[in-house]
Amino acid sequence: MAKKIKIRASLKNDVTTVKAIMTHPMETGSRKDKESGELIPAHYIQAVIVSLNGEQVFNADWGTGVSKNPYLSIKIKGGAVGDNVALTWKDNLGESEAAETKIKAK
């Protein structure tokens, strides 16, 4: 099964760049099914949280305007090789996914 979140964290010049791609349809709720003509219900990530060694360092609120299979990149000040970076998302249907990775030197 395809991984629901791909995440990488690389440390360079005292900045850890976190890049993640989340598998998610990000349906706006305004799209019609081509065959049935029915509206496809809105299904989109509403909240994203990033933690460093268990401590929350970032969070975001999203609407339906974020692209399908969302990409996100943020820069954490500092961080050390081997530190744990985790990302969690929650969507409007109550679904949730999480993934983590260790910081690598770039």
* Location of structure tokens 């970076």: 85
In the complex with another protein, the residue whose CB is nearer, 21 or 99, is: 21
Query: Which amino acid belongs to residue 81?
Result: V
Query: What is the side-by-side order of every strand in the sheet holding 84-91?
Result: 45-52, 84-91, 96-102
Query: Which amino acid belongs to residue 11?
Result: L
Per rule CB under 8 A, is residue 83 in the interface with another protein? Answer: no
Binding residue for another protein, selected from 7, 9, 72, 103, defined by CB under 8 A: 72
Binding residue for another protein, selected from 60, 83, 88, 90, defined by CB under 8 A: 60
CA pair distance 94, 21, nearest whole angstrom = 20
Per rule CB under 8 A, is residue 66 in the interface with another protein? Answer: yes
Binding site for another protein (CB under 8 A): 15, 28, 30-31, 52, 56-68, 70-78
